[in-house]
Structures are given as C-alpha cells and as structure tokens.
Amino acid sequence: MQTHEIRRRFLDHFVKAGHTEVASASLLLDDPNLLFVNAGMVQFVPYFLGQQTPPYSTATSVQKCVRTLDIENVGITTRHNTFFQMAGNFSFGDYFKREAITHAWALLTSPIDEGGYGFDPERLWVTVYLDDDEARDIWRDEVGIPEERIQRRGMADNYWSMGIPGPCGPCSEIYYDRGPEFGEDGGPEADEDRYLEIWNLVFMQNERGEGTGKDSFEILGPLPKKNIDTGMGVERVAFLLQGVDNVYETDLVRPVIAKAEELSGRTYGRDHEDDVRFRVIADHARTAAMLIADGVNPGNDGRGYVLRRLLRRIVRSAKLLGADRPSMREFVTVVRDTMAPSYPVLETDFDRISTVAVGEETAFLKTLASGSRLFENAASEVKAAGKKVIGGDEAFALHDTYGFPIDLTLEMASEAGLSVDEDGFRTLMAEQRTRAKEDAQARKHAHADLSVYKELVDRGPTEFTGFEELVTESSVLALISNGVRVPTAAAGQDVEIVLDRSPLYAESGGQIADRGTITASGLRVRVNDVQKIAKKLWVHKVTVEQGQITEGDTVLTQVDADWRKGATQGHSGTHMVHAALRQVLGPNAVQAGSLNKPGYLRFDFSWQGALTEAQKQDIEAVTNEAVAANYAVNTFVTDLDKAKSMGAMALFGENYGDEVRVVEIGGPFSMELCGGTHVGSSAQIGQVTLLGEQSVGSGIRRVEAYVGLDSYRHLAKERALLAGLSASLKVPAEEVPARVESLVERLRVAEKQLEATRAKAVLAAAGEFAEKAQRIGAVRLVADAAPAGVSAGDLRTLVGDIRGRLGNDPAVVILLGDVDGKVPFVVAANKAAQELGIRAGELVASFGPKIAGRGGGKADMAQGSGADPSGVQAALDAVRARVAELAGSN
C-alpha cells in the first residue's frame, strides 16, 4: 500500500466516524517552545489548554512534523528521521478511551477492501499505564486482545505531557510484532525493534505541574474536560504494509537513495558507512524541501541554522560517496516527484525550493574548498612539529568556525598519514551541545496564560470596520489589567480594552497597528497598540488620559487619519515593490517577510547575491511607473483554491482559512492574499524611493524604501546635499559626480606619492639605525625609539630592513614607537641570533611589562603594543640586558 493511500485511508476512516478533517499546520508556528511543529496535536494546543473553544468537537489530520534533536544519529540507525507525518484523531471533551481504542483497532485490522489496513490482529500488542485498569479492560474485554499481549508500563513510557505545565495523561500504545527474525520474544518491554510502536493513544485527563524529564513532575489534578490526542506514524505503517525493513526502503524515501546511487556509482546495502550517507541524503532532502516550502531559508541561527546543517550534511554525504558534481537539484526533484501528491506546494513552488537548496550547496562547496586549505595548513604544522595527530581543538575549530565536517577532516587526515584526536573533538562537541540544550531549556516556559480572553474569544470575533470607516461607535466588552479583568480604569492607567467593533487595524501581515483614540463624554483614551488574540479578538493597549472608562460603556473609537494614510501608503507600496522585484528579477524573488508603517516599507525576499545598481534602478522605475499609472486597487473575498488559481501570491508558512481576502492592484500587476489596509488607487502611494539593499541571511535580501511625503522629504535632503556640493565645488549639479571622481583620483595619486616619500624616509632611517648598531658579545643590537610619525605598519617594514642591513652576524632589532599615547613595537632576530638561543617572541617578555604592553610572534619576528610611553627607556634597557645575558656578555 502506497504512503499516499495510507494517509487517505486514515482521514477517510475518521471523517466517516464524524470527525472534521483539518489540514496540516505549517511546520512553523508561533510557539516559544518549538523550533518546528513536532507532533500532530500542536496546532490544537489552545483547545486542549482551554484557552479557546474549538470549532468542532472531534477532528482528524495528518500533520507534517520535524524533530531535530537527533540529527547526528540520522542514518546511523534506520529508526531516526527528521521529517515524518503524524496521523491523528482528536476529541475535545467528546469521546474518551473506549472510542479512541475501538476507532484505532477498526482501522488497523479491517480488511483492505473495506478501507482498513488489514493488519493481522494476532500480531498486535498494546501497552497501558501502570494503574489504567479502564484501558486494560477495554482492550481485553471489548476488543479481545489476550491479557498476555497487554503490558503495563510506567510514566517514562506510558504517560504523556508536553514537557511543560499543561494537559497530560496516561496513554496506550499499539505495537506490531515484526517476527522473531527481528528480535527476542516478550513484547514491547523486551524488544522495541521487533515490536514496533505504530500508534499512541493519549488520554488527556490531568494537568501537570513544574518538573523536568518524562516522569519527574507533579500531577495537579483533573482537567475540566477529558480529551483524546492520538498519533499514528505514517512512515512506520508504510514500511510494515509495504513489506520492507525500515522507512528508508519505502516508496517515498527509497527513490532518493536510488538517485544517490546513480550519481555516486555506489550501491546501497553493501557498506555500513556508505549506507549511513545514503540515508542522510534521503532523510535530509525530504526535510529540507519541506522546510523551504514553509518559508525557512538557510541562516546562522534558529530554524535557518537547522536547515543549513541539513543541506550541508547532504552535500558532505554525497561528496563522501564519490559524487563528483553538484547534485542538490536532482535530490529535491525526486522529493518533489514522490511527495507532491500529498504536498502540492512542492510542485507549485519547486523553482524557489530548488533555488534555495542549490544556493546553499554552492556556498558550502566554496566553504569546503577554503576548509581544505585550512586543513592542509594545520596538517603541515603538525608534520613540521614531528607529530602525527591533529588536535581535537583544531578539528573542532574547522567544524564549528569554518563549517568543515569532521568526517572529511578524518578522511583527509588519513590520506595525509595523520590521525585526529577524536576524543578531544567529541568532548568539545559534547560541551557545545550541552550549552545549546541548556540554552534551549532556559527558553522553554509554560504557554502564556490566555484564559482571561477565552470567554471573549468564545463570544465571537471583533467586528473590524476599518475598511469602511475611521470612526465607529463601540461597546466596551472588557477591561484587562495585568492579566485580570477589571470593571473600570481611570486617568493615568495603562490597560487593555476589548471592544465589540473597532476601526483600528490590529498588527498582522507586516503592517503595524493603527494609532487612535477612544472617547466619550469626559473620557479620552490614547490607543498605543492593537494586537490579535486567537487571530480574531482585537485587544487595544491603551493609556487612559482623561476621565474613567467602565465595562459596558458606549464609546467612539477613532483612527488617527494621518497615521492610517501613511500606513496604507506603506502597505500598498510594499505590494508594488514586490511586484516590481518579480518583474525585474523573475518569479523566484519571493517574499520572505515585510514591515510597513507610515511612510516606510521594508521587504525581505529570496535571492542569491547582491542586486546590481541597474537592477535596483529598474525596480524603482517599475514601481514608480505603476504608481503613476494610477492603477485601481480592488479587494474581494474568495476561497483559497480559487485565489491561488487566479495567481494570488501567498506568504509562505502562513496558515490561511477557507476564505481569503485578495488585494489586486492594476489587474495582473499585483495580486496578493492580504488582510491589511490599502490606498484607493496606486497614485495615492506617492513617490517610492529605494534607500538600499542588503543581505539579512543566506539567500535572503532586504530592500527598504520611503513612500509619500517621507519619500519627498528624503529626496529634498538629497537635493540640498547635492546643492551644497555643487556650491562648494563651484560646478553645476550635473557635473558634481565627475568633479568628485576627479578629486578622488587626485587624492589617490597624492597618497601614492606620499607613500613613496614615506618609504624613502623609512629606508633612509634604516641605514642610519644600522650604522648605530651596538656590539654585545657576538650580537649586533639595534634597540631604540622609532622616528616620530612612523606608523605601526611602517615600523614592521623598518625593523625588517634594518635586520637585513646588519648582514649575517647574529643581529637583533627592536624599535618602540609613540602613536597617540600608545607604544607599538616590533622585535626581529635573524637566523644567526636564533642559533644563539635568541628568539624575538621570547624577548617581548623581558620588556613588555615596562610599557604595560603585550605581544607575541615567532622566533624571527614579534610585535605588539604597550600603554605606557614613560617606560620606553626602561624597556630598551631591559632588552639590552636580556640580549647580553643570552649572548654570554655583560
């Protein structure tokens, strides 16, 4: 049975049983505890916590999930995967244990021709929590599983929670016996490789307190309602129903391995180390494609760093397999072809997905090239020292600082006849992981208590009137202070106000919230911010400036008209710039984030490499031509599929409802899904002036712009600046660039002449110093203050030249400068002096304390700086004494 069919049968089974089918949430949810969605129940957390009333009493979904704690173990075993699909059914105070158990049993054991999976009931085992007699009785007496195939287990195995205070409860897990060839007898307690868990039924009936680990927390008491949360691993069921040994051999994963075999010339299943690499490629290619599809881009922290690691592990593994050319596009192509029936975004957005993946591959191949040079330097130093082992700290620096994988370091070391201190490397890696886990744990906390808003959310959404009007008569539904409902608020207080109707836009979609006022007789309230709760309740954060406001009051809520005008200009300008980017750069320039506020917009988009000046000029020109065309701005509401079929752009990673609002500017010029406020026609945006463009992460660029009056003010400043330059240079404005270029060129020439003059002076000084060299024993010594005005860079050149003029006799040179109250110094010793035991780097210790300085270097030359110019003479005396000591003369 194909994986897509397994998914479909699961959803159909529960829809027929009265459940509402809910689409998978994005892998990215606004949850402070989660980097990625890692369980099927995550999108339903507000319902389980009682913060929101669910729109359905039962639901079913197949949730895409990513877990990344075990990245290093992926491929080593066949059990670890980063991306997986979790099929689940959920009850929010509706049915409980009996129905959860019988629903699961029916789907697993019903014949294939009746819509089930056709598992042999005799090969299914179950576990229950230690004292859960109710679940045991249902399995034994109603389902008919013999008691010997029902095992009781403790909290670590059969008690579920989110790892933080919240809902929890005992669970019952269903296992499939794969047969004696996979392990020993005795059920799940004996061998979880032979007895494979395929479904976990969680009976959420309690609330847990603080604590760590799976079994070290307190049970506070029962939940108001008993809930059901189940999770069936789609990939595990797939490899059982497809008669293969593990997920890597299933219909959605094995084709990626086949492509890797084709590209590398090696065969899966013949060598363990190669098999690990094949599995890494197959697992990570799926995960990377799904993450990019949901809007993640490679970066140096957070989600972006995880994606970068995954992509680089693919490149590394392909290289170690012997693939001799870039292969990322071919891997993600296979992922698209196999996964798109369940996830169409892989097909519709393939160009963007492959561009991001290939861009990271290209960058990493350059890293590998530079890392190879760094390795060669390290290896040369090890050999020069007569050693055979590259230190763990050096291997760790290559890995952590330069992104050079440890297995490539090991391979190259072996080829060079060296080994690596792997224990030292692993210790440093373990320390880094410990720090990362401690940091992640410190960031985890209980979900914010939003229960104060639940009654208000259940009442229904705030009616937003701001598309039609700027002033609305509203009723005060609630006042909230420090998370508690209060009846009134007086002048000077900061509170939150919930209204039944509001014209004030609540922050979302990159548009910041409106500013405005709430007034009544003797009352004036300043609105500082407006935020959404549960995506539908407007919460106004305000300061009471005059009078007293009371729950139940009727008030006038008014938007600051100037603020709204500027905000709509910024928001509509963002849409225009987006459309212009795609027109100039192509369809891969896709939005990756935005911010717009009165007079200003910021737009992030997917793109590899900086824009040229010509591209930036074209983008600005296309935008302003569209503004001047005075395109009509139309908005309408339609269903999501129709909007997409019309070509409306959606923001990646955003979850949309069945109905969406489309903003259309100039027909085909710009069409996006958007809930924000906009101008009536494009001319109302006013002039758009691009301020610049920069990188904000791997594969992500950012443009910023002013619009409307802010654009005019910016250009007025630029014009004033140009007029000032024109007056100073005494040329017309249009000739300023040429005159500035001419002046810059003359400055370059003057600097070169000055440098030549300075070099001559340094050479002349070198001869004078060499002639004054002292003879201390067998050593010729120059120890003196440097000429006034000699820079730190010139000092090194001067010392080197003096040393060269002293011939083949043992010679030491030290000069101490005086630059802005600092004492830069350079020490040099020629080869003959080094043979006497005099080393430049060691001499620093003899005089450095005299000038409160420090420095270092090698035997032939060392340099540094001091902070006390008054100690220069004492430093010179100390050097003379030390050289005399080493030269054997007093």
b/e for 124-140, b at 16 or more Cβ within 10 A?
bbbbbbeebeebbebbb
Q: Are 479 and 488 in contact (CB under 8 A)?
A: yes
Is residue 860 exposed (0-12), middle (13-18) or buried (19+ Cβ within 10 Å)? middle
CB-CB contact of 548 with 489 (8 Å): yes
Phi-psi region of 730 (alpha: psi -120 to 50; beta: other; left: phi over 0): left
* Rounded (10°) CA dihedral 155, 156, 160, 164: 110
Handedness of CA 206, 207, 209, 212 (dihedral sign): positive
Residue 674 assigned as binding residue:
yes
Written as six digits, the tokens of 833 are: 């002096």
- Rounded CA separation 605/594 (Å): 9
Q: Work out whether strand 548-550 and strand 537-546 pair parallel, antiparallel, or are unpaired.
A: unpaired
The Cα-based distances of 126 to 196, 814, 850 in angstroms read: 11, 81, 78
**Quick one: DSSP state of residue 513?**
P
Phi, psi at 853, each rounded to 5°: -125, 170
Helices (H), 791-830: 792-805
Report residue 109 as tokens.
């054991």
**What whole-number distance in Å separates Cα of residue 346 and Cα of residue 332?**
9
Q: Are 41 and 88 in contact (CB under 8 A)?
A: yes
Show the tokens assigned to 199: 């479904």
Instruction: Give the chain's count of helices (H) and strands (E).
Output: 25, 35
Q: In this structure, which amino acid lies at residue 747?
A: L
User: Quick one: tokens of 597?
Assistant: 């506020």
- Has 19 been labeled as part of a binding site? no
For residue 475, give the amino acid letter.
S
Write the DSSP symbol of residue 32: T
Q: Are 395 and 409 in contact (CB under 8 A)?
A: yes
Burial annotation 270-300 (CB, 10 A radius, 16+ → b, else e):
eeeebbbbbbbbbbbbbbbbbbbbbbbbbbe
Question: What number of CA atoms fall less than 13 Å from residue 779's CA on the CB side?
Answer: 31
- Three-state DSSP at 794 gives helix
Q: Are 390 and 382 contacting, i.e. CB atoms less than 8 angstroms apart?
A: yes
| 8 A C-beta contact, residue 681 and residue 630 | yes
Helices 302-321, 272-293: inter-axial angle, 10-degree rounding: 140
Does 678 belong to an annotated binding site? yes
Residues 6+ apart with CB under 8 A from 384: none
CA distance 882 to 890: 10
| Cα 298 to Cα 364: distance, rounded to the nearest angstrom | 11
Rg (CA), the chain: 35
Tokens of 664: 């259309």
Q: Helices marked H in 416-560 — which ranges?
A: 422-443, 454-459
Longest dimension (CA), the chain: 108
Instruction: Give the chain's length.
Output: 890
> What are the helix (H) ranges across 731-776?
736-771
- Residue 13, marked binder: no
CA atoms lying within 13 Å on the CB side of residue 26? 18
- Cite the annotated binding site by residue number: 571, 575, 674, 678
- Cite the annotated binding site for Zn(2+) by residue number: 571, 575, 674, 678
